[in-house]
Copies of this chain bind each other. A is one copy, B any other.
Amino acid sequence: MPLHRIYSNKGTFTAAEKHDIAKNIRKVYSVLPAFYVVVAFVDLDPDSFYVGNDAVNGKFVRIVTQHLARTNIGAKRTDYIVGLIQDAFKPYVQDRGLDWEIHIEEMEREGWRENGMIPPMPNTDAEKLWVKEDKPVEYDGAYFKE
């Protein structure tokens, strides 16, 4: 987490553009371990993606972002974050006149694991260690919600 699933027609983005978008999204979460930030482009066939009554024909991008509820962040913080995510796509979506839709889902962290480990709580020394190592490493005090 965060997990970004991007639904668009095959060919909407080049490989280089996808890589750029992924790097831009990673920057949105600069406080998190880089390996937390996952971006999956689900490339759909021309006959497999519709808005209203019409095939999308490469003109529409649907972004589904999942966060873990690190804290109850509130509407202003959500607005800020969704803006940053949209900026990550801007050169390849908005600036080309494509349409897009996004929503963010705040999921529970209880059943979340990285390489089998319970990720450390936000802003802990353990999380800082995961940022530094950029991989899941063992730490003291794994979190269980009782």
Contact = CB atoms under 8 A, between A and B. Distances in A.
Contacts of A146: 75
A28 B53 CA distance: 12
18 contacts: A19-B50, A22-B50, A26-B53, A34-B51, A35-B52, A37-B51, A38-B101, A40-B44, A40-B48, A40-B49, A75-B145, A78-B110, A78-B111, A101-B114, A101-B115, A102-B113, A105-B107, A105-B111
Contact of A50 (B18, B49, B53, B79): B18
A19 B51 CA distance: 10
Interface residues of A, number: 68
Given A33-B52, A103-B113, 14 more contacts: A18-B47, A18-B50, A19-B50, A23-B53, A26-B52, A35-B99, A36-B52, A38-B50, A38-B62, A39-B50, A40-B62, A66-B103, A100-B115, A102-B111
